[in-house]
A and B are shown apart, each in its own frame.
Chain A
Amino acid sequence: MIPQEIVDFIHSSQIGHLGSRDENLIPTIRRSWGTNVNDTKEILIVYVVQAQYEQMLKNFNDNGRVALTLGEWPSHRSYQFKGQFLKAREMTPDEVAFQQQYRAKPIFLVKDMGFSDEMAEQFTYYADFVIEFKVEKIYNQTPGPGAGKAVELAK
């Protein structure tokens, strides 16, 4: 299970990137827009823009390996989650509502970096699609002495 401290971090993070690779080990990266945790704290539910995920979905369906980084500004706190792709699906009405609330976080981040309200709106998306994967490993990626260390999963 994902430790509760990390679950709390996931809900507060504003930045997300998903990674995959193809059959020739060529990696692909895309942004994600909000993440939730399932009830058993084993599965991450990641919100993305479907139109940008053609190659990612092909990779996930081919080999299933997923890497997700989530970051928090301005603390620089960051974790990487690795695991196995489970499924891709449309968003539920509750998740559409979640997107409306979540979007304030990346907008805050962009504005806090010194960009205008207009730019902040332009830099951020509404997700319209969902990627689910089972978390196998978590790594601390916050810059500093603890970077790269594995986080022990809860029993």
Chain B
Amino acid sequence: MEIKLEDLHPAFQGVIPSEIITCSADGEPNATAISQVYYVDSHHVALSFQFFGKTNRNIEENPQVAVMVIHPETGVSYHLDLRFVRRETEGDTFDEMDMQLMAIASMTGMEGVFKLRGADIYEVKAITKIDDWD
């Protein structure tokens, strides 16, 4: 059965942190936690761009990334194959992510640490269900 992005809405509420893997042009994978995976439309998500680190450099070199999200109601994890499209630093998506990130920071004691610098828009190339218990 095809998995639709809409089916994963609860996984995008920031209840359970997600993880992102990027890869440099010379083939070195890089793993890190990510605060937000935000539903944009049926074919796109936005990831929070917060820090000027290795993840950001890798995306500039190689737009292909993998993200794992966990559905908070079922515990099922999903693997998203994504391709970077653009970075937004203003507009509705940025503003809504900024508000959500402030709420996540407040819930997790990260006020003053989490700051949204951009809403990185990605095309969703594939969704794979990892767990098989439901």
Interface window among B5-13, B28-36, B92-100? B28-36
The answer to whether B16 touches A113, judged by C-beta atoms less than 8 angstroms apart, is yes
Contacts of B114 in A (CB 8 A): 143
The answer to whether B33 touches A71, judged by C-beta atoms less than 8 angstroms apart, is yes
Contacts A27-B64, A113-B16 hold; do A76 and B21 have CB atoms under 8 A apart?
A: no
The answer to whether B65 touches A21, judged by C-beta atoms less than 8 angstroms apart, is no
The answer to whether A68 touches B51, judged by C-beta atoms less than 8 angstroms apart, is no
The answer to whether A143 touches B113, judged by C-beta atoms less than 8 angstroms apart, is yes
Of A21, A80, A122, A144, which is within 8 A of B75 by CB? A122
Task: Give how many A residues have a beta carbon under 8 Å from the other chain's beta carbons.
Answer: 37
**A105 on interface, CB distance cutoff 8 Å:** no
Q: Nearest A residue to B134 by beta-carbon distance?
A: A122
Contacts of B74 in A (CB 8 A): 122
**B91 on interface, CB distance cutoff 8 Å:** no
**A20 on interface, CB distance cutoff 8 Å:** yes
A123 to B73, CA, bound (A): 10
The answer to whether A28 touches B79, judged by C-beta atoms less than 8 angstroms apart, is yes
**B40 on interface, CB distance cutoff 8 Å:** no
The answer to whether A69 touches B110, judged by C-beta atoms less than 8 angstroms apart, is no
The A-contacting residues of B in range 120-134, CB under 8 angstroms, are: 130-131, 133
Main secondary structure of the interface of A (DSSP, over half): strand
Of A30, A31, A148, which is within 8 A of B53 by CB? A148
The answer to whether B19 touches A143, judged by C-beta atoms less than 8 angstroms apart, is no
Contacts of A80 in B (CB 8 A): 30-32
Contacts of A18 in B (CB 8 A): 31
The answer to whether A28 touches B53, judged by C-beta atoms less than 8 angstroms apart, is no
Contacts of B47 in A (CB 8 A): none
A21 to B58, CA, bound (A): 13
Convert B66-77 into 0s and 1s, putting 1 for each residue whose CB lies closer than 8 angstroms to a CB of A. 111010101101
The answer to whether B30 touches A26, judged by C-beta atoms less than 8 angstroms apart, is no
The B-contacting residues of A in range 14-47, CB under 8 angstroms, are: 17-21, 24-31
Contacts of A131 in B (CB 8 A): none
Contacts A19-B30, A71-B33, A141-B33 hold; do A27 and B75 have CB atoms under 8 A apart?
A: no
**B25 on interface, CB distance cutoff 8 Å:** yes
Interface residues of chain B, those whose CB is within 8 Å of chain A, are 15-16, 19-23, 25, 27-33, 51, 53-54, 62, 64-68, 70, 72, 74-75, 77, 79, 81, 108-110, 113-114, 130-131, 133
Interface residues of chain A, those whose CB is within 8 Å of chain B, are 17-21, 24-31, 52, 63, 65-69, 71, 74, 76, 78, 80, 82, 113, 115, 119, 122-123, 139, 141, 143-144, 147-148
